[in-house]
Amino acid sequence: MNVVELKHPLIEHKLSILRDEKTGTKEFRELISEIAMFLCYEAMSNVKLNKTVINTPIEKMVIGRLNEDKYAFVPILRAGMGMLDGVIRVVPNAKIGHIGMYRDEETFEPINYFFKVPKDIDRKEVFLLDPMLATGGSAIDAIALLKEKGVKKISFLCIIASPEGIEKVLEKYKDVKIYCAHIDRELNKNKYICPGLGDAGDRIFGTK
């Protein structure tokens, strides 16, 4: 129940273009942003709204309104930045944090180099952003950093997830919910997701 996979023809269609090695940087970046927006819609499907009285051009009414200040988006640098534009379209006044990590190519372990979040992050619901959930190492380290700051509710949003990464994260943090566009088959010997879509950061920023 702690994993939600978006199963929709439009998502599969967008993933088919995203995965294609012939897809260029501009289109790849746009698709990452679009799918992130859909993930955000799903992840916020049960948020609580405050009752607000407004006047329409016809009459007064009571309607639900989101307190956007209660939410924060935290991309894992650098690939997570590719998802940020999509999610802030949904909640434009949410606060933004950043966690910087890169993968050691020999040990495959994440190395942390930057951590900056809003000072009242402990009072917010946090959506952690990273296009790929591969080994789960970066996600686990990022979740640990947020929990050290007192964050109580964390959702992890990713485009592609591996079964191994999902298992590792939920084994460590049973209270975290994972939202992904697709769960792929497995990790290869180099810890890349198969069939995957390659290195998301390189394809987002055109660095390879």
Write the CATH number for 199: 3.40.50.2020
Residue type, 78: R
Note the pLDDT tens digit of each residue in 140-161.
Answer: 999 999 999 999 999 999 999 9
Does 207 participate in catalysis according to the annotation? no
- Choice among 107, 135, 141, 207 that is catalytic: 107
* Residue ranges in the chain whose pLDDT is less than 70: 108, 208
DSSP 124-169: SEEEEE-SEESSSHHHHHHHHHHHHTT--EEEEEEEEE-HHHHHHH
Residue-number span of the structural domain to which 197 is assigned: 3-205
Does 202 participate in catalysis according to the annotation? yes
Residue type, 146: L
Residue 95, token pair as written in the block: 């606060």
- Residue 33 to residue 24: CA distance in whole angstroms: 14
Residue type, 12: E
Does the model's pTM come out above 0.85? yes
pLDDT in the model for residue 79: 93
- Residue 31 to residue 104: CA distance in whole angstroms: 27
Look at the chain and report how many structural domains it folds into: 1
Residues in Cβ contact with 106 at an 8 Å cutoff, skipping those fewer than 6 apart: none
pLDDT in the model for residue 104: 74
Does 199 participate in catalysis according to the annotation? yes
pLDDT in the model for residue 36: 98
Does 107 participate in catalysis according to the annotation? yes
- Choice among 78, 103, 122, 141 that is catalytic: 103
